[in-house]
Copies of this chain bind each other. A is one copy, B any other.
Amino acid sequence: MDTLIVRSRARCELIDITAEVQRLVAARGLPDGLCVLYVPHTTAGVLVNEGADPAVAADILATLERLVPRHGPYRHAEGNADAHIKAALVGTALQVPVAGGRLALGTWQAIFFAEFDGPRQRQMCVEVRPAAR
């Protein structure tokens, strides 16, 4: 299990970490397998979506903000209840196939670290598991 350090610069931000994850996959040297991603935080998540047009990430964040506004009536008193809820909706774990030593992402897919309570220094756990024999 490797750990990537991710630095967010805004409260809510989708950070494209595809290149960094790809570097870990290549370093692992396995031709085929599964790349497991895990976010060890409660106000951040991980998702795969379009990386080409940054408007897509902006739309995802804006919709989450509309559905789960920062200042709702929430019980959690730390001012980041919305961030916990957004993380619960997006999820904290993901897996992406590896083929030919590379992430087998679809043409338009990128891996995003989903920050909902930044800016902060964050971690993303990455493990590359060998192919099923």
Contact = CB atoms under 8 A, between A and B. Distances in A.
B85 A59 contact: yes
A34 B32 contact: no
A66 to B, nearest CB: 8
Contact of A130 (B34, B77, B88, B133): B133
A56 interface: yes
A99 interface: yes
Interface string A98-123: 01000011111100000000000001
B68 A63 contact: yes
Contacts of A81: 55-56, 59
Contacts of A131: 1, 127
A104 B42 contact: no
A32 B125 CA distance: 13
A92 B48 contact: yes
Given A55-B74, A59-B85, 6 more contacts: A33-B132, A36-B97, A38-B104, A42-B56, A60-B84, A130-B133
Interface of A: 1, 30, 32-34, 36, 38-42, 47-50, 53, 55-56, 58-60, 62-63, 67-68, 72, 74-78, 81, 84-85, 87-97, 99, 104-109, 123, 125, 127-133
